[in-house]
């Protein structure tokens, strides 16, 4: 049975999540503030964390930073009542795997949880590489560390995910839809344009000349491939 930790200070939302998740046969742990939630995570080692951003005692941002700072790769789905895109982007950049904005559909939440667990299962199948080295770039996917010419590259978890999938199939074309399904886990949101944006960001970080890429190659109308030959 999968164990899910819900860290949420709104009691009504917390109870609703607990009831619905237990109905779907998940074991559910709950906390109403960041410090309590972090302590439960360390002690109980859940399979997934549902994390509100605006929490008492320790914010969701800080909880997420601590989790990732200690090398813990437990999937994190953040909840936010804020509508500003910057809050969502910040949450993803500090290590969250997905986000939902309140109010949210329980059905969609359950679908996203299933997608997260599916991706986690795929990543343990042995196909995905733990690290890659090419040209002057080194990427450690387990530690979420990347360097180019010895300089640390700042990359989001989604960028690591995209690069890891491309590396697992180096030299092959990976379609945009495959990237959405395997990295994001659902195909309605975000769109394939999101994939293009992430690839553009990756190029700006690992290519010597992003306008003339040698490694991250676009196959027009289909998807992308990663060349590791050099």
**What residue ranges define each of the domains in the chain, with the CATH number in brackets?**
3-123 (3.40.50.2300), 131-226 (1.10.10.10)
CA 40 to chain centre: 21
Average pLDDT over residues 172-181: 86
What pTM was estimated for this model as a whole?
A: 0.58
For the chain, what is the mean pLDDT?
Answer: 86
- Judge whether residue 50 has pLDDT over 50: yes
The model's pLDDT over 6-36, given as tens digits with 9 standing for 90+, comes to: 999 999 999 999 999 999 999 999 999 999 9
DSSP per-residue string spanning the chain: --EEEEE-S-HHHHHHHHHHHHHTT-EEEEESSHHHHHHHHHHH--SEEEEESS-SSS-HHHHHHHHHHTT----EEEEES---HHHHHHHHHTT-SEEEESS--HHHHHHHHHHHHHHHHHHTSS-S-SEEEETTEEEETTTTEEEETTEEP---HHHHHHHHHHHHTTTS-EEHHHHIIIIIS-SSSS-HHHHHHHHHHHHHHH-SSTTS-SSEEEETTTEEEE----
Question: What's the pLDDT score for residue 137?
Answer: 94
- Judge whether residue 47 has pLDDT over 50: yes
Question: What's the pLDDT score for residue 89?
Answer: 67
Average pLDDT over residues 178-196: 71
Average pLDDT over residues 166-173: 88
- Judge whether residue 150 has pLDDT over 50: yes
- Judge whether residue 180 has pLDDT over 90: no
Lowest-pLDDT choice from 42-51, 75-84, 131-140, 205-214 = 75-84
Question: What's the pLDDT score for residue 187?
Answer: 44
Q: Among residues of the chain, what percentage have pLDDT more than 70?
A: 87
- Judge whether residue 191 has pLDDT over 80: no
The model's pLDDT over 85-142, given as tens digits with 9 standing for 90+, comes to: 556 666 677 778 888 888 888 988 998 898 888 766 655 544 678 899 999 999 999 8
């Amino acid at each position: 049975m999968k164990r899910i930790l819900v860290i949420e200070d709104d009691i009504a939302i917390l109870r609703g999540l607990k009831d619905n998740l237990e109905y779907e046969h998940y074991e559910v742990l709950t906390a109403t503030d960041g410090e309590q939630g972090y302590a439960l995570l360390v002690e109980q080692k859940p399979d997934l964390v549902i994390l509100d951003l605006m929490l008492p005692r320790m914010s969701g941002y800080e909880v997420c930073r601590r989790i990732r700072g200690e090398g813990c790769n437990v999937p994190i789905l953040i909840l936010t009542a804020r509508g500003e895109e910057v809050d969502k982007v910040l949450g993803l950049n500090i290590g969250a795997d997905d986000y939902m904005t309140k109010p949210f559909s329980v059905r969609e939440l359950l679908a996203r949880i299933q997608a997260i667990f599916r991706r986690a299962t795929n990543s343990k199948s042995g196909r995905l590489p733990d690290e890659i080295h090419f040209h002057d770039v080194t990427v450690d996917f387990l530690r979420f560390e990347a360097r180019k010419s010895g300089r640390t590259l700042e990359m989001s978890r989604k960028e690591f995910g995209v690069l890891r999938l491309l590396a697992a199939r180096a030299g092959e074309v990976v379609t945009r839809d495959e990237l959405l399904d395997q990295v994001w886990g659902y195909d309605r949101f975000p769109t394939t344009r999101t994939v293009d944006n992430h690839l553009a960001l990756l190029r700006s970080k690992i290519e010597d000349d992003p306008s003339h890429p040698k490694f991250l190659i676009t196959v027009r109308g289909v998807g992308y491939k990663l060349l590791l030959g050099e």
